[in-house]
């Protein structure tokens, strides 16, 4: 195996870009990246070698054995045991080696170490929500410690998504109705791009995020702060704080005006200060009290033509968070555009 390891090492060293990323690959930012790239380049260079060999021999033979005046064409050989054994045994050995290194890399990728830091991940059209054990909830940004294994326990509320971090060489489907797992260890603090790699609807390409790897000795403080993240915001930033809470609403309430299970926040925004009519024929003015009541006691006023399906958020949201959602809806146009994408 030492010979193989040496060959793999030489090939990788000869071909890979700098750690910051190169022509072939993005930067190597997890403990798995090196293994994945080594196998990729191992297979790539075997393929290149045989491509060049076969094409060169083909061209050579076409020229050398072309039909010419005064040359008898030879009888086609029907059998050559030595040749057939050679072209069977050499590829067999090669594919066994590829299988072995591939299997070893795969097993290392699916078996997470025992002391992993664990995070719950929810994929939903079209964002990622991360829940830490200390209560911190993050949207589209995941903060994790450097140099420590991180295990993600992932599910989806709607369709199949795929959690993909190219710099880590890690990808895993996120499936509704079950948990799937992905683990990684990023040695260096930094920011790494997260993508959704499974087509999941019109905004699939915008279902991206950032993995924020924080120095191990700072991580505990940072994540404790995030558990109270809304306190970081001054009052004038409440609408933006509301936008960060919005993933908890978005499976039923859109921002672009289209109806889902519940009325779009844009519709509620447009009706601010005006009357809204409910299923029982009653009506009320859309204001702070109406939105607050709809969050805490959703069954009390059901908007016409919508089902009574929303669970109460009583006890799940702090007063400050309720205020953030109210301000988010009231000032919706300042925070998001017509399609519901965040404004800069």
Site residues (CB under 6 A) for ligand CUA?
Answer: 123, 126, 161, 196, 198-200, 204, 207
Provide the 8-state DSSP code for 34: H
| Minimal distance, residue 267 CB to ligand CUA, in Å | 25
Which residue, 31 or 129, has its beta carbon nearer to ligand CUA? 129
Which residue, 128 or 192, has its beta carbon nearer to ligand CUA? 128
Among 123, 121, 120, smallest CA distance to 204 is for: 123
| Minimal distance, residue 192 CB to ligand CUA, in Å | 18
| Minimal distance, residue 28 CB to ligand CUA, in Å | 25
| Minimal distance, residue 112 CB to ligand CUA, in Å | 23
Element (H, E) at 141: strand 141-145
Which residue, 204 or 323, has its beta carbon nearer to ligand CUA? 204
Q: Which residues contact 222 (CB under 8 A, 6 or more apart)?
A: 143, 214
Tokens of 154: 């992932």
Which residue, 121 or 245, has its beta carbon nearer to ligand CUA? 121
Residue 139: beta bridge partners?
129
DSSP 259-314: BSSS--HHHHHHTBTSEEEBTTS-EEEBSHHHHHHHHH-TTSSPBTTS-S-PPP-T
- Say how many C-beta atoms besides its own lie within 10 A of residue 319's C-beta: 9
Which residue, 20 or 177, has its beta carbon nearer to ligand CUA? 177
CB burial class (10 A; 0-12, 13-18, 19+) of residue 299? exposed
| Minimal distance, residue 343 CB to ligand CUA, in Å | 22
Among 113, 112, 102, 110, smallest CA distance to 36 is for: 102
Which residue, 123 or 145, has its beta carbon nearer to ligand CUA? 123
Give the 3-state secondary structure of residue 149.
coil
| Minimal distance, residue 273 CB to ligand CUA, in Å | 36
Which residue, 25 or 200, has its beta carbon nearer to ligand CUA? 200
| Minimal distance, residue 199 CB to ligand CUA, in Å | 6
d(CA 249, CA 98): 47
Helix axis angle for 238-245 and 319-330, nearest 10°, is: 100
| Minimal distance, residue 129 CB to ligand CUA, in Å | 12
d(CA 61, CA 166): 43
Residue 337 phi/psi, 5° resolution? -90, -175
Which residue, 194 or 238, has its beta carbon nearer to ligand CUA? 194
| Minimal distance, residue 93 CB to ligand CUA, in Å | 40
Q: Which residue has the tokens 């919005």?
A: 246
Which residue, 150 or 194, has its beta carbon nearer to ligand CUA? 194
């Amino acid at each position: 195996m030492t010979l193989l390891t040496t060959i793999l090492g030489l090939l990788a060293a000869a071909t890979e870009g700098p750690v910051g990323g190169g022509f072939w690959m993005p930067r190597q930012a997890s403990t798995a990246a090196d293994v994945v790239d080594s196998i990729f380049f191992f297979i790539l260079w075997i393929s290149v070698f045989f491509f060049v060999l076969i094409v060169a021999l083909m061209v050579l033979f076409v020229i050398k054995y072309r039909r010419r005046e005064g040359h008898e064409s030879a009888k086609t050989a029907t059998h050559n045991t030595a040749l057939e054994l050679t072209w069977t045994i050499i590829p067999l050995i090669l594919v066994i080696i590829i299988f072995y290194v591939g299997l070893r890399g795969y097993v290392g990728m699916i078996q997470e170490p025992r002391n992993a830091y664990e995070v719950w991940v929810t994929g939903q059209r079209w964002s990622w929500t991360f829940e830490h054990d200390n209560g911190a909830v993050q949207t589209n940004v995941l903060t994790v410690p450097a140099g420590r294994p991180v295990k993600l326990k992932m599910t989806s509320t709607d369709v199949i998504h795929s959690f993909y971090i190219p710099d880590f060489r890690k990808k895993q489907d996120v499936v509704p109705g079950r948990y799937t797992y992905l683990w990684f260890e990023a040695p260096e603090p930094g920011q790494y791009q997260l993508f959704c790699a499974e087509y999941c609807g019109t905004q699939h390409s915008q279902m991206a995020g950032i993995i924020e790897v924080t120095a191990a000795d700072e991580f505990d403080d940072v994540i404790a702060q995030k558990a109270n993240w809304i306190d970081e915001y001054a009052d004038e930033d409440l609408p933006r704080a509301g936008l960060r809470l919005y993933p908890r609403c978005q499976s039923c309430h859109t921002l672009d005006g289209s109806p889902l299970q519940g009325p779009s926040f844009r519709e509620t925004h447009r009706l601010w200060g005006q009357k809204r009519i409910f299923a029982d024929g009653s009506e009320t003015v859309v204001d702070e009290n109406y939105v607050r009541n709809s969050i805490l006691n959703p069954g009390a006023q059901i908007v016409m033509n919508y089902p009574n399906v929303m669970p109460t958020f009583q006890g799940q949201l702090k007063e400050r968070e309720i205020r953030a959602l109210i301000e988010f809806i009231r000032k919706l146009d300042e925070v998001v555009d017509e399609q519901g994408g965040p404004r800069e």
